[in-house]
Structure 1
Amino acid sequence: FIPFLAFDQIIIEQTDRLKLKNITESDADYVNTAFKLQNLGGGTAKNIDIKVYLDEDENKVLQEKHINILPSNKFYLMPINKKAFEEFEDTIKNNGYTTNMYINIKYFSQISKKQNSITYRV
């Protein structure tokens, strides 16, 4: 049971305001203003560092978060901050489907004791 961390998919809808929805959740407002981090591998991930940044430049950080532990049967909601919302809105206004936003997750596995790193394009 090696942890593998990933974010839930988000549907974005532009009405009078930007509306986000995690596809595996109900319409609860707090879920729809957060990135939902899930532990897909079933193991326990420790010392998780999450960095959301722009343009493949890790110095253009939109937000960062450190989580001590994420057990296999839990998920973590990382609130989407104003800068990330603005990037979503700019992408939609420019008729884009892919933002310039990246998410990097670094974490340790209980079993392997190695640091794993994953980068996602939003």
Structure 2
Amino acid sequence: MSRSTFLFNARNCMRPHWRRFAIYSCGSVLAACLVMDVGMAQAATDTQTGTNGAIGTNGAPGNPGGNGGPGGDGQDVTATAITADASNTATAAGGAGGAGGNGGAGNAANANGGNGGNGGPGGDATA
């Protein structure tokens, strides 16, 4: 590149309209990257654990306590796409099932408490 061509280009780059164009272009690209990063960070974080099961009833005198109730189901989660490309979807696990309820207390020296209930099933994750 000749010296005169280099100086011509350097002078043009310093003119206000070229400088403004360069600043706006860089700013637009940076803003787009920031928006995409925020969207990716927020994708597929909404899972919910099922409710805990009911506590078993206390035993009558001399009898064991009742069994705890089963835990509730975990919430199903639909993963949201993080870009316009349908194949680029976030993955999210379904919510965990709730814990089974505690067994009720036995009401005698030799009566055992009831068994705890089973945990509920986890929720499904669908993309």
Question: TM-score interval w.r.t. the shorter chain?
Answer: under 0.3
Give the TM-score taking structure 2 as reference length.
0.25
User: TM-score, with normalisation over the residues of structure 1?
Assistant: 0.26
Q: Which has the larger radius of gyration?
A: 2
Question: Which protein has the bigger helix share?
Answer: 2
